[in-house]
Amino acid sequence: MSNETSSPATLAGSTGPESNSGHGSTSSGQTTLSGHAAPGGHDPAVSKETRRRVVAASFIGNFVEWFDYAVYGYLAATIAAVFFPESNPQTALLLTFALFAISFLVRPLGGFVWGHIGDRVGRKTALSLSILIMSGATFCIALIPGFNSIGIWAPILLLVVRVVQGFSASGEYAGASAFLVEYAPANKRGLYAAVVPASTAAGLLLGSLLAGLLTILLSAEAMQSWGWRLPFLLAAPMGLIGRYIRTKLEDTPVFRELAEEDQAIKAPVSSLFRNHWRLLLKAVGAVLLNAVGFYVILSYMPTYLSSELGLGAAESFLATTIALVTYIGFIFLTGMLSDRYGRKKVLIAASLSFMVLTVPAFALLGTGNFLVIVLVQILLGGMLTLNDGTLPSFLAEMFPTRVRYSGFAVSFNLSNALFGGTAPFMATLLIAVTANELAPAWYLAGAAAVSLIAVVLSRETSKEPLRHE
């Protein structure tokens, strides 16, 4: 079996010959900083065991962060009843998703801060701090009294904690992706980076399973009283475990080389906007499909199925859970496909798929047939993996090492703040305004069209060594 099609099980342990591994040159024939190791090429100092630990730490850390962050979306209907009991159900849901969206507004700021720390101090430091903040904030959500106990202070406190969550999450996805890409063999960067969306989906999966299990086992009264708090309480021990694992890793060889030669930029974000603003604009556009698709398909969908289409809550969670399982399986395949055929081809296929198939797929959801709903969600999840499994390596390769964390974090979080965090709110609002249950599908298809343009205008990066400049 070729390197490009190695199975995920062997992901962390592969150390075969890499393409573009010459230590003294880049794609343009220029020497690297020290001439010791080609960025993104095979570094003999990186052992199989080190790569295994990097993959495991990245998976667990990102898993914890996104479990913490996503539980809110899965329990939105219950949270709406707890924190906005005096509103009608649709208004309460809108207010709940408005809080969800507002928490994303801080993510561009977080992208600047975490990008600066990651590019100036180190990837490991940024990732270790972010998981600690996320788990602490999530744990605090479980302790907030409801509206009936403290009135308006309940949603205010919820908003504050969600903002802290958003700040933390803004550094996670970008940092974990950059970390994996910089440790990966040159011809397997797509496969390694796919660990990030896979672990994100695994966090969502656990959140969906817990939400579904609690919905089945507890009465509506028990859920509103205390049941909804249980998933948030898990954040503390999970976060401590994730941070412990991350503190045991070294920073990436590429970053350590920069640090040793004092080549790290003092103000990476300023350099990003001054020297790489065109790349930044393309990256923001490329992320748009991921931003809208991820939160519509994997976070908002249970609420859409139950609140808008009348499917039972337990069935809604079960359908989403099945889709998440298949999504995790598909994501590694997509990473391997992007290594073999290139990032652009896979990303273009993703955009075209959503432009053509999204509206018909959502129309089939309206049949109310559970089997049809599951099959449609599997289809949508599979389409999403074409984007999500490729995007982390695409963005990490797009920016040079000195501003890689900043470029990824700023572009990813700007797009998610404007379009990802607002996606559940916009979907609910569009349905309310248009009285059309297919409105979210049209919104998603439009996002795919914008991403298509951005990707077409970008260069192919899969066969190039990682750049310092």
3-state SS, residue 284? helix
pTM equals 0.76
Check: CB of residue 409 under 8 Å from CB of residue 114.
Answer: yes
Q: What pLDDT shows up at residue 353?
A: 96
CA 169 → CA 135, 200, 278, 453, distances in Å?
10, 11, 25, 27
Q: Which CATH architecture group holds 47-456?
A: Up-down Bundle (1.20)
Measuring CA to CA, which residue among 430, 388, 195, 176 is closest to residue 300?
Answer: 430
Would you tell me how many other CB atoms lie within 10 Å of the CB of residue 8? 18
* Spatial CA neighbour of 47 closest among 183, 191, 175, 244: 183
Angle between helices 107-120 and 404-415 (to 10 degrees): 170
Nearest to 128 by CA among 47, 241, 277, 39: 241
pLDDT at site 267? 60
Q: Where are the domains of the chain?
A: 47-456
Predicted pLDDT of residue 195: 93
Q: What is the pLDDT of residue 10?
A: 41
For the chain, how far is it from start to end, CA to CA, in angstroms?
A: 34
pLDDT (0 to 100) of residue 468: 62
- Structural tokens at position 456: 């077409």
Residue 353: closest CA among 375, 322, 385, 321: 385
**Below-50 pLDDT ranges, the chain:** 1-42, 44
* C-alpha count within 13 angstroms, C-beta hemisphere, residue 294: 27
pLDDT of residue 28: 37
The tokens for 465 are 């060594």
Output the DSSP codes for 332-370: HHHHHHHHHH-HHHHHHHHHHHHHHHHHHHHHHHTT--H
**405 contacts 268 by C-beta, under 8 angstroms:** yes
pLDDT in tens, 249-277: 777 777 777 766 665 556 667 778 888 88
CB atoms within 10 A of CB 225: 13
**311 contacts: CB under 8 Å, gap ≥ 6:** 305, 319, 368, 370, 373
Closest Cα to residue 463, out of 290, 347, 332, 344? 344
At residue 3, the pLDDT reads 37
Q: Between helices 423-434 and 89-105, what is the axis angle to 10°?
A: 140
